[in-house]
């Protein structure tokens, strides 16, 4: 998992402002409290610019944020949030200083595990770094979403600070979604003599893999972790055939 967010990191929060982080944080906190985790050490995998990390820290959790992207972590560190430890690490190889009460991963970070065996590696590390009875909460985009919502679609957004063209190509056989991302980001240092805004063009390619619920359930069982719940993140109820994002609640045995 190379650093795929070098240019996008600069405008990530701007273009992702519609992501319901507040609602997701409330739901995650509710799930943690259901398991008796009201405070303590919590790690976020794929923390990006720290949107969820900061919200969980504000709720009283002692947060560590892990991301493979140096640029995303640099943006995360620009926000005022005391006591958060950010580590530049690949979630398939992450190392912590001790065990955690909980580990979380949101915004389909787990879908970036595209190679066979990647998810198993993460589950093994999660099991190693969770306290007995600790909880792992993560979400994934569903196969339905890639096949019917994202696949072969072009998404665009145009702002004063920048614009992007997001082209999706989904391979149903391999269950891999390729994102071709073209960014135009305003460069204040290159303003023209007349004060007009100038923009730099960047191109990035991202890949995500679609995992079925049954497939993930099997991997959880094989890892020795315990599957507690699978929920539709929009309804927080049992997923349907048209659920676009699902949340898994997994526990390490006592």
CB of 105 closer than 8 Å to CB of 133: no
Give the domain CATH number at 154. 2.20.25.110
- Does 125 share its domain with 67? yes
Mean pLDDT taken over the chain: 90
Rounded to the nearest 5 percent, the helix, strand and coil shares of the chain are 30, 35, 35
- Does 200 share its domain with 162? yes
pTM, to two decimals: 0.90
Give CA–CA dist 90/2, Å, rounded. 9
User: Is the four-CA dihedral 176, 207, 210, 250 of positive or negative sign?
Assistant: positive
**Band of the pLDDT at 19, cuts 50, 70, 90?**
confident
Give CA–CA dist 149/128, Å, rounded. 36
Estimate to the nearest angstrom the gap between the alpha carbon of 18 and the chain centroid. Answer: 15
Residue 31 placed within a domain:
yes
What residues contact 187, with CB distance under 8 A and at least 6 apart? 198, 199, 200
Give the domain CATH number at 32. 3.40.50.150
- pLDDT, tens digit (0-9, with 9 covering 90-100), for 224-252: 999 999 999 999 999 999 999 999 999 99
- Does 197 share its domain with 220? no
What does the angle CA 145 – CA 148 – CA 151 come to, to the nearest 5 degrees? Answer: 85
- Does 138 share its domain with 244? yes
- Does 14 share its domain with 120? yes
Beta pairing partners, 59: none
- pLDDT, tens digit (0-9, with 9 covering 90-100), for 159-187: 777 787 889 999 999 999 998 988 887 77
- Does 230 share its domain with 137? yes
- Does 24 share its domain with 92? yes
- Does 106 share its domain with 220? yes
- Does 199 share its domain with 226? no
- pLDDT, tens digit (0-9, with 9 covering 90-100), for 92-110: 999 999 999 999 999 999 9
**Number of folded domains in the chain?**
2
Residue 3 placed within a domain:
no
Beta pairing partners, 61: 40
CB atoms within 10 A of CB 192: 8
- Does 42 share its domain with 77? yes
Domain that holds residue 80: 8-143+212-251
Give CA–CA dist 41/102, Å, rounded. 7
Give CA–CA dist 242/235, Å, rounded. 12
């Amino acid at each position: 998992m190379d650093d795929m967010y070098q240019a996008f990191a600069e405008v990530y929060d701007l273009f992702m402002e519609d992501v319901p982080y507040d609602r997701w944080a409330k739901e995650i906190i509710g799930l943690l409290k259901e398991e008796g985790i009201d405070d303590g050490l919590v790690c976020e995998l794929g923390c990006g610019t720290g949107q969820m990390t900061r919200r969980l820290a504000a709720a009283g959790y002692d947060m560590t944020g892990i991301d493979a992207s140096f640029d995303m972590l640099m943006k995360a560190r620009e926000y005022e949030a005391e006591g958060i430890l950010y580590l530049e690490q690949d979630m398939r190889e992450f190392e912590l200083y001790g065990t955690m009460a909980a580990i979380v991963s949101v915004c389909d970070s787990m879908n970036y595990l595209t190679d066979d065996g990647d998810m198993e590696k993460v589950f093994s590390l999660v099991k190693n770094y969770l306290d007995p009875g600790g909880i792992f909460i993560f979400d994934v985009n569903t196969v339905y979403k890639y096949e019917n919502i994202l696949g072969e679609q072009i998404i665009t957004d145009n702002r004063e600070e920048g614009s992007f063209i997001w082209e999706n190509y989904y391979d149903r056989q391999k269950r891999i979604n390729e994102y071709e991302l073209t960014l135009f980001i305003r460069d204040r240092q290159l303003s023209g003599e007349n004060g007009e805004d100038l923009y730099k063009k960047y191109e990035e390619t991202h890949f995500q893999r679609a995992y079925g619920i049954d497939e993930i359930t099997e991997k959880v069982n094989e890892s020795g972790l315990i599957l507690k719940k699978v929920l539709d993140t929009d309804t927080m109820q049992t997923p349907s055939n048209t659920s676009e994002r699902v949340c898994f609640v997994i526990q390490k045995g006592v």
